[in-house]
Structure 1
Amino acid sequence: MAKPRNDRNQAVTKFCLAMEDHRRTEAGRVRTSKEFVAHFFPYDEQKVKDQVFLHMPNEVRGPVLAKWGIRGAKAALKDDDEKVRYVVHDALVAGDIDDVAFEAGITSEILVDWIVLAEWWSFWRNGRLTGAAIQKALATARELHLIDDKWFLLNVQGRGGKLKGTDVLCDTLSKDQIVAWVRKIHETGDGSPAGIIAAVGWETVLVKTAQDALLFALDAFARKAGLAPEVAETKTSIGGAALSGGAAPQSSSINAGRLSHAAEAAPASNEPETARHARLPENHPTVSAPVDAAALAEADALAAQARRHDSGIPVAIPDVPAIDGGEDAPPSTDEREESPRLAEAREAMMATLMQSEAKQKAVISREPWDESEIPAKPSSLEWPEPPPVVASPANGEATSSAPPASLELIEDPDAPKVAPPPPKVPAPNPPPVPRKGGNPPPRLK
């Protein structure tokens, strides 16, 4: 009898065997018998791929084929891998055996003894994991001393890595449970990882902790036990997405190998590329600041000079003296003498400016909030004084010096005469006035 590939005395082998037995129960059914056949013996009517029988010797797989009744007991012991693959494929296509019989024929012990354990873990991990399956896996690993309480508190993470260790446990415990937990730690005086887990209870930890946090710890255990490759080894950037070996599909390793082979075969290129390996346009070069800051400034200066439109015709620009150029250097050209008329005009202009400045200085500026001066009363508003009152010597009555009322006003003959307005004559037949409630009655003549 050949020695099995995996030793059942090893803790990892015991773990896989216990989880495979649990998978075949109703509570731990994360993969069905149909999925079992599709993973370890995928086939269609034309093609088939054997991933289970080729690892078994004839003395192990022969009795399985004989038990199914698709091959004789002695003939099965002599069949090679090609013959076994053909016989089993023909029986599945013909319906001589179904998925349930296929899974039952390959028992948990036969499967775990001869299959590659990493292949079995990929089959189990990619199933529809329930809380019971995850809790069973962690409990089994702790019972087999594959993990301890210290390792668990260091590797359990929740809410996408925001919570770690005891924070993950407190996140789902009630207030009363946390108070009892702290009281228990105080009573025992054991604040070690083992004392912390013992104070709250391992079963309580598995039941109350969030499932995503437990699954994170389970994936870390798989990498620790060698059932799954490390994340650094299987992380491959495909279009900006990272595939993890623990939860990635089986074809990820094949795609990663194809990509690495293509990267080795592709010639090296000095052209800049983006994150998605798209060539950048030539007018957008990539630079690294601040090392290339001087180069950028020089490039901008050259581009500005290139944009200037120069006709190329030399033009002589005369030197024009500035108006306030007393302190400037003398002009390059010889100064000409000033004409007498220009000097006379300048003197006249300066005299006018001086006079205007003197007048402005003489005027006292008044602020808007100063008191305004009272203007003089215009003469047109003055009334003549009344005539004096003189006493008459005859009767002693006071008489006024004003002209008597009997005097007639003398009209100015040159003044234009205004015709008096015509007298108003009533209309012979005025229009009727409308009354309320209807038309007016007819007027009698």
Structure 2
Amino acid sequence: MSPTPQMHLCAFLFSTGHHVASWRHPDVPLQNGTDFQYWKDLAQLCERGKLDALFLYDGAALPAMDLEPMSRMDRVTFFDPMTLLPALAVVTDRIGLVSTSSTTYDQPYYVARRYLSLDHLSGGRAAWNMVTGVNTAEALNFGAPLMAHADRYARAREFAEVVRGLWDSWSDDAFVMQKDTGRFFDPAGVQMLDHQGAHFSVRSPMCVPRSPQGQPVMVQAGGSEAGRELAAETADMIYSVQDDLEEAKAFYADVKGRMATYGRHPDSLKIMPGVYTIVGSTVQEAEDKYGALNELVDGGVAMSLLSWCMGGHDLSGYDPDGPVPQDLTTNAGTTHLKQMASIARARNLTLRQLGTHVAAGGYGHWSVRGTPTQVADQLEERFTGKAADGFNLMPATYPGGLVDIIDGVIPELQRRGLFRTEYTGRTLRDHLGLAVPKRQVRA
């Protein structure tokens, strides 16, 4: 009898929680994103729950340029994750460490070096979440307009190719370090990339040895046509946004179905949508938590967030109690824009109601609330129904919402045989059940 397949779980750690008013909740500690003890406690809590990884957001600008609504949110300051994650690597032993870096505003050599360095510091637990950048405010911080969507993805594809080539600079046995002969490394174990492309010219080799897990894990976040194709070609994990079950199943089948073109097995890519969670010991307690948080939402903040989710469109010219426009286009985040239109259409929401939904429910991600058993039921349904290989957990508040997951939902999943009770490997690839990639030797 074959063992029960097990889901993968990561925690998306974001400010004081994924509810926009989490920082105002009386049980949430006030902090501005720079308290290392806060992040250390969360990371160790995630590891206590045997989660595959923790996931950190990064961006090079505020989410919006209007400072009045932004002044009512706490998600405006955060560490550069590539300074925070090495520190968290020291105070954890097994949990994977995932962070975001942009292919639009960075260079392949720097990204390859940072994540490979983190991989060594952590003993093979690093992952790079590759994004193209969708925020116009970010572009302004780099002195240029936001690059066209197709151009961003063309650059991203080449960027990923270069990074992976750099990660294969050295063979596993290149560093012989022989004191008697005076030979530190074997020249035959190093190869030049000599990449010449439309966007990058990179000679190599990388100045960090090959990864303890072959290569750091590659994560991709993007649900557009170009994003799906890039994930099928390059990613080990995809962070996705689906609210509806049937949409999630269709996305799962579509991305997995593209992989054969690139000679890849569907199991070599883990599809892990975000899921916004509120857990209570009873149904009423979960609803009370939800209601208490929603009472703290500022209307201006809700509409500002909705504007961001709809590609940065100025919504002030629309009737807030009228229908959500369905014909908007954007050069920014197309996935969220389509998701917003779909949710409004399916639920017959006004613009104001959609803003409230976004503020209260994790930016259009799938939202679940209830008892640990009810939350586990819903996760199991999507997992066994081929809608996900696992989930990026997005608790409404920290640390309480995460504690509810670790001490309530995780034990329930463990009782069902759907999630590990102990780590069985040491690297993130071990946790995810991913093979160690073979080094590509260039002719």
Measured against the shorter chain, the TM-score band is: under 0.3
Indicate the structure with greater strand content.
2
Structure with higher RCO (Cα < 8 A, 6+ apart): 2
What TM-score, normalized by structure 2, do the two folds share? Answer: 0.20
Higher helix share: 1
